[in-house]
Amino acid sequence: MNGTDSRDNRDNRDRKERPIRVVVVDDQPLVRAGFAMVLDAQPDIDVVGEAGDGAEALALLDRTAADVVVMDIRMPVMDGVEATKRLGERPDPPKILVLTTFDTDEDAFAALQAGASGFLIKNVPPEEFLAAIRVVAAGDSVVAPRVTRRLLDRFAGQLTPAEPQKADDRLAILTDRERDVLELVAQGLSNSEIAARLYVAETTVKTHFGRILTKLELRDRVQAVVLAYEIGLVRSAG
């Protein structure tokens, strides 16, 4: 077992032994209070801090450890996109859930590209909100595959394509089957659909995808789809 595997296993054990630590970032005090109230009512979740803008959030996270940050987009001083980007540059950053109106807030896509693990709609039902926190804390994405694809198709023009040589280098470290899996993930297929398409077991798809994340140094499915667009493995339908 390598050092990374050992650390990941240790982190997973730690999370099972303590609540998920959450920071809520929103410039509206009543919104922050509402989210914090819902979260703190759960025995496995602990709100460890609140902030009114991105700069305040960065300062808070300098002194407070968190597993998940619920991040608004439109805020004064520093918005959620810039805060997400800066957090992603830190070692072992928390997972970021972006708060967005989804259909109208184009900045949400920029936050995804900056490293957010997914999206929450501000009027999301409490049970979905709580489930999203737990999913992201476990290292997964809260954006459904087809939603990710639709969002990327809509905003593909905002992507910065990778240089051809750099794209080739990244693809070269993948096996042919891993490249097939990445392409199908980026097309919006679920693991079970990919398994059916490739005539393999779903567990095999999960294994391949795990290796893709490791080799390409990606955190989750969302980042994998963004990368596939950036390197030209898939292209916008628009």
CB of 136 closer than 8 Å to CB of 223 = no
CATH code for the domain defined by 3-143: 3.40.50.2300
Q: Phi/psi class of residue 92: alpha, beta or left (left: φ > 0; alpha: ψ in -120 to 50)?
A: left
User: For 94-151, what is each residue's pLDDT tens digit?
Assistant: 999 988 776 555 766 777 778 888 777 788 888 888 988 998 888 777 765 556 666 6
- The pTM of the full predicted model, rounded to 2 decimals, is 0.68
Residues of the chain with CATH 3.40.50.2300: 3-143, 155-230
Question: At 53, which amino acid appears?
Answer: D
Which span out of 59-63, 72-76, 165-169, 228-232 was modeled with the highest average pLDDT?
A: 59-63
155-230 under CATH 3.40.50.2300, yes or no:
yes
For residue 7, pLDDT beyond 50: no
CA distance 137 to 160: 28
Helix (H, G, I), strand (E, B) or coil at 191: helix
Q: Residue 3 has what pLDDT?
A: 47
Provide Rg for the chain, Cα atoms: 18
For residue 25, pLDDT beyond 90: yes
